[in-house]
Chains A and B, each alone.
Chain A
Amino acid sequence: MGYSVQPEAIGSEPAARRRSAAVPALGPRRAGLTALALIIALTPLLLANDYFYNVAILVGLNAIVCVGLNLLIGYAGQISLGHAGFFGLGAYGAALLAARYGIPPLAALVAATAGVGLLAFVVGRPILRLQGHYLAMATLGLGIIVSIAIANEEQLTGGPDGMAVPELTVLGFEVYGERVWYWVVGACLFATVWLALNLVDSPRGRALRALHGSEVAAETVGIDSTRQKLTIFVVSAMIAAFAGALTAFYSGFLTPAKASFMHSIELVTMVVFGGIASTWGALVGAALLTILPQALTVLQEYEMIVLGAVLMATMIFLPRGIVPTLAGLLVRRPEAGASPAADERRRH
């Protein structure tokens, strides 16, 4: 079966790390984006069959969500434990609009993403007043409400049995098959990373980092912290919804697991694993933690044990996440790396 190709897929990661190390957080974005474009363009050479294409697509979809989630966690310093809720709403929203109401899939995708953006805007205003773990709790509560509603509204969503989703059609062309989807997801990932990098380098991104350092200090220099947090919350929720809608059309079948609490935890884990406050870290985290469980299925009953142990060991030995820690080692300026995340939360 070709597990043998797995190490190659994993083996392509160090290259990404090295490049990201060469590109400090505020350096020329273009080098990083070129590297990403090359990786996306060349990865198919390593993909032997549809199974590997499938894994690569899943990596891409998770990476899109994680890059968006990292904007919220890493740059705005706001934890969300309910992002799978937005992901699930995007997925089910698009699927329901297309399957039950006959809306063209592409329009359904756009509508679902916009709808989740609106929802995030409405709920974000009150809950973003909460801080730290209380915000985490509130987002977790929202996520759970969404996932229970999806699992219980059987006549609409099919409940735990799931629901079928029609094909995505763009300008009359059906997006069909792993090889076509690979390029669609690859292009979307590239666009998301481009958006995230630009956002981080913009005045808004600097405002966000100031806010992460200290909300009070940021406000005294005239940053409207509520508005900044709300904007990034909405953007990040919309990215998750967009990836959810894409996932729905790609897999052709949806189950409530996609919106579950566990999926929210997985997403946060990917972001922290790769390295908080590093867009490249979010990418690497999503890639490794998508590929790892696939590779570990060989181990059968030992799968969870090894996954848990790898997660713990990585966080113990590379506490700032893979990309920032390794980048720090390579650049030899450990403190000048990419992480403004470190000092938050000590101040309670």
Chain B
Amino acid sequence: MTGQWTQFLAGGFTTGAIYALVALGFSIIYNASRVINFAQGEFVMIGGMSAVTFVGLGAPMPVAIVGAVLVAGLVGLLLEALAVGRARKADVVTLIIITIGASILLRGLAQLVWDKSIHGLPPLSGNEPIAVFGATILPQSLWVLGVTLVTVVALSAFFRGSRLGKAMRATSYNRLAAELVGIDVRKVLFFSFGLAAMLGALGGVLIAPIAFTSWDVGIMLGLKGFAAAMLGGMGSFPGAIVGGLLLGLLESFGAGYLSSAYKDVIAFALLLAVLLVRPDGLLGAARSDRV
């Protein structure tokens, strides 16, 4: 009984950590521009698929991971420079549709650059399951949790310590005020896309040894990341992490105790319930309307 419970817990935390990484990407771009980036899921896909290519070329896993994250980061920067940044004076809805266009474009490119089949990646350290409290946990799950933890700590240091990180935070609190004190808001948006893409790609590489990857994994992972960000409160970094883990756990326990076919229904129904009680997400700041 405890074994089963531990099993669901471990599974929930593993997928939840990935959702959290994707959700952080959503929140970073949202904070810089109020835009929901519908191409966020494609960064996850690009991460996984690039890593497959690097491994295919004979690179060891750590090199492949770094390479994949950098490739996705570059794609993120390009997306801002060539598309979103050019239209940044437009309506938020218009910018959102641009990111939808980008996600279609990137999926099309992925089919062309790679293929339409499903790929696996070797785990970072073996496939021998570890027995913990009667549950069997894949070493890759521990890697997912460990790397996510390190990333979150590093990210938090970046936002507190570095000039760029502080500029990004200032922009998210008040864009106009940030501009007035001389922060280059355009630059913030540019690097936000790069950072969000790298986080998404990291999630994509980490989950691929467990869940496989293909040209269309971005749709569902992006959707879950978005849901996680909303659950925690869009724009809040602790919210993204809490939302991601909670969504992962809801799915895992929902699938285990109720119905695996309806695990997403359970997760989304609870998400709706949370939003109705707390309309700005769990950790989101309450807003008031100004006329």
Contact = CB atoms under 8 A, between A and B. Distances in A.
B97 A269 contact: yes
Interface in B80-99: 83, 86-87, 89-98
B279 A141 contact: no
Given A216-B291, A307-B104, A319 B264 contact: no
Contacts of A269: 97, 100
A152 B258 CA distance: 14
B60 interface: no
B98 A305 contact: no
A348 B287 contact: yes
Contacts of A133: 36, 230, 234
Most buried by A among B96, B111, B272: B272
A315 B87 contact: yes
Q: Determine chain B's interface SS by DSSP, over half rule.
A: helix
Given A311-B104, A315-B97, A262 B234 contact: no
A262 B41 CA distance: 13
Interface stretch (B158-166, B187-195, B196-204, B219-227): B219-227
Contact of A311 (B97, B261, B280): B97
Given A148-B262, A305-B108, A315-B94, A142 B272 contact: yes
Interface in A123-153: 126-127, 129-131, 133-134, 136-138, 140-142, 144-145, 148-149, 152
A145 B100 CA distance: 22
Q: How large is the interface on A (under 10, 10 to 19, 20 to 34, 35 or more residues)?
A: 35 or more
B94 A272 contact: yes
Nearest to A218: B291
Contacts of B128: none
Interface of A: 73, 79, 126-127, 129-131, 133-134, 136-138, 140-142, 144-145, 148-149, 152, 214-217, 220, 261-262, 265, 268-269, 272-273, 276, 301-312, 315-316, 319-321, 341-342, 344-348
Interface of B: 34, 36, 38, 83, 86-87, 89-98, 100-109, 111-112, 219, 223, 226-227, 230, 234, 261-262, 264-265, 268-269, 271-272, 275-276, 279-281, 287, 289-291
Given A138-B276, A301-B108, 15 more contacts: A133-B230, A137-B230, A141-B227, A152-B262, A216-B289, A276-B91, A303-B108, A304-B107, A308-B105, A311-B97, A315-B87, A316-B87, A316-B90, A319-B87, A347-B290
